[in-house]
Amino acid sequence: MEKKMTYTQALEIAIATIGEGEVADKLTALKASIAKRNAADRKPTKTQQANEGIKAEILEFLADGEAHTVSEIMEGVASLKDTSNQKAASLVRQLKDSGAIVREEVKRKAYFHLA
């Protein structure tokens, strides 16, 4: 799969093609504003903060030392009882990707436990 061109890359090509002048100055300013926006340190949203709390609860639930499925985790963690299976699976996957938990597959069923 081929990587898509970013706005910054497109602006660099346009600036190099145009050369000097008012248009090049405007494009350079636009490129700088895009770089500034992309590099900005943003504080986490309310949802991201809430998800961090849920992840901590998932880790507490998995502290029993046993391996659990996502469905079992949803039943055992109070914050996940009213959420969708997709959200629970997404939070568990994020924990797996961070290395906090480990995924094992037994008879085509995924089980998770602390790393």
Half-sphere exposure of 65 (CA within 13 A, CB side): 0
Residue 41: per-residue pLDDT: 74
Give residue 103's pLDDT band: very low, low, confident or very high (50, 70, 90): very high
| Token pair 């469905």: residue | 71
Residue 18: per-residue pLDDT: 85
Mean pLDDT across 64-92: 92
Domains defined along the chain, listed by start: 7-39 (no CATH), 46-114 (1.10.10.10)
Task: State the DSSP H helix or E strand holding residue 106, giving kind and residue range, or none if neither.
Answer: strand 101-106
pLDDT in tens, 24-68: 899 999 988 888 887 767 788 899 899 999 999 999 999 998 999
- Determine phi and psi for 30, rounding to 5 degrees: -65, -40
